[in-house]
Structures are given as structure tokens and as C-alpha cells.
Amino acid sequence: MSRNPKRDWSATLPGGIPIEGILPDSLIARRALELVTGHNSMPVEAVVQKAMANQLRLCIQKIGGREVSWSKLRGKLLDHFLDPKQQHLIRRMFQQLTDPSEAEVKFMHDSLAIENDDGEWAWSGKMLCGEALDAWIDANEKRAEAEALLEMDPDDEDGALRRFEEAVAALDGANEKAITVHGTIPNTNVIQRAIEQIPAEARKKPALSRKESSENLVRLCITEIAGTAVGFSELKGTGIDTWLHPKEQTLIAHALMELGTPQAEEEADFLATITQG
């Protein structure tokens, strides 16, 4: 199965300047990091900053109808095409296109389930995208309308009930269109393997090594996407971009963090059981 998520983007900069490009993905993020020279002698923050600038250049294909390329935008030449404010606007757009919204994170977290099958811990969750996200937002708006109706006029139960029924129908639609993902909970062995899978050249570069190991962890902890079995070999390298949008990869990384980090109440309950002697 190949979901082939949409990669192209277009926008209009202030002044009516059209701009087009492709979304940052695993390959582009890796290349942007590799193009930073002097990894070992630079602070990680400086490496990340330079990589973000490289990613910006790699993801732009046309400005004002003119075709551009990495070679044309390299170094300070980018400033001949775009002023600092325009560059900042494009970075903010990338963030919006590739970072999950609060609604998407909440839906994923609400859907997370853990099961233990013969000592093998597994997780499952659902991700919203496109029409599913629209349906879920619609459901929440209808539920809010129903609650507001009841608050304003407690006697209008029929009107509120209709809104609640519409909300439930919209939520059912969102659940049907959501992408299901199954996987295994990360453990010491999986984390070790994620580190071992890093190419030798990347291990010498701290920022690249960190990025590679976190991506490998996501790949190793996915076993099924939308009902189709997958493995590390299918998701290896840029293969993951064929299956999952960058935003969905981030959602899964969030989910794994959620599953592996104790909640405040869990921590409090555990600490309350401690006895000495």
C-alpha cells in the first residue's frame, strides 16, 4: 500500500508574490543537516539553525513564477530572492503544514490504547487528516452549540438533542475516515536497535545522529498502517514518507512519548506506595 500523501504546497507572499515548493520530509531534513559543515565544532543550536535555513532553500521551487533551485538560493543568494520577513513567513507556513494541531494531538491521545498479548506490549491509535479532521472539528462545534443551547434555554431539550445527535454523527464520520496505526511500545532493546541502525557517517555528527535515532524509533515501533502490515524495511529511510505525511510522523512521535512518560497522577500514586525498611 502506498498512500502517497500530497507533498506540494503553494502560497502568496505579501505583495501578491506567488511561491511554490514541496513539503519538508525525512530526505530533505536529512540533506539539510548533511549540508551543514563543521557539525562537531558547532553548538547544536547553531547546527539546527543552519539546517532550518537549508531546509527552507531545499523546499522552494518557484518564486514569482520563476523556477529556482538549491544552487540559486544557496548562501546569501537567498536574500536576493526573498527578504528576511518573507523567509520567516515561509518557515511559519512549514510549521503549520507539518506540525499537528491541538485537535489532532488530542484525538490521537484520546484514541491511544495499550494491550498486553503474551508479554508483548502493543499500542494502537487513530490519526485525523483531511476530511476526518474537518468532521472532528465539526462534531466538537455541534457539541458546543448543544451545550450552549441547554445553558441558554434549559427547556429547549429537543433543539439541544438534535445538535448532540448531529455531533455524534459527525464524530462517527471522523472515526471512519481516521487512519489507524498499530505498533509496539518502545523498550530498551528497541531504543538500542534504533541507535545501531544509524549509518556510521551520521554517528560522528551529534545533531544528525539524534535525528536519525528518533526517526528509527518511530519506524521500529510501527507494525500496521490503515490495516496493512508494515515493518522497518518498508519504512526505512525515506520509505516512511511514502506511508505517512510529516505531520503524521510527528503525531506518532508524540504518541510514543505519551505512552512512555508517566502521567503526574501515576507518578504521585507510585511515590505514595514507597516504604522504607
Cell numbers linked to 148: 450552549
Chain mean pLDDT for the chain: 85
How do the domains of the chain map onto residue ranges?
A: 8-98, 99-128+178-185+221-277, 130-177
What pLDDT is recorded for position 18?
A: 96
What pLDDT is recorded for position 130?
A: 65
What pLDDT is recorded for position 221?
A: 95
Report pTM: 0.77
- SS3 per-residue string spanning 170-203: HHHHHHHHCEEEEEECCCHHHHHHHHHCCCHHHH
Counting other chains too, the contacts that 138-147 makes at CB distance below 8 Å and 24 or more residues apart are 138/170, 139/167, 139/168, 139/170, 139/171, 139/173, 139/174, 140/103, 140/167, 142/166, 142/167, 142/170, 143/167
Cell numbers linked to 194: 534504533
pLDDT in tens for each of the 277 residues of the chain? 345 556 889 999 999 999 999 998 888 888 898 888 765 677 878 888 888 899 999 999 999 999 999 989 988 888 999 999 999 999 999 988 888 888 888 889 988 999 887 767 899 999 887 677 777 777 777 778 777 777 777 766 777 777 777 777 777 777 778 889 999 998 889 999 999 988 887 787 888 888 889 899 999 999 999 999 999 999 987 788 889 888 899 999 999 988 888 889 999 999 999 998 7
Alpha-carbon 158 to chain mean position: 40
Tens digits of residue pLDDT in 33-77: 888 876 567 787 888 888 889 999 999 999 999 999 998 998 888
What pLDDT is recorded for position 119?
A: 67
What pLDDT is recorded for position 1?
A: 39
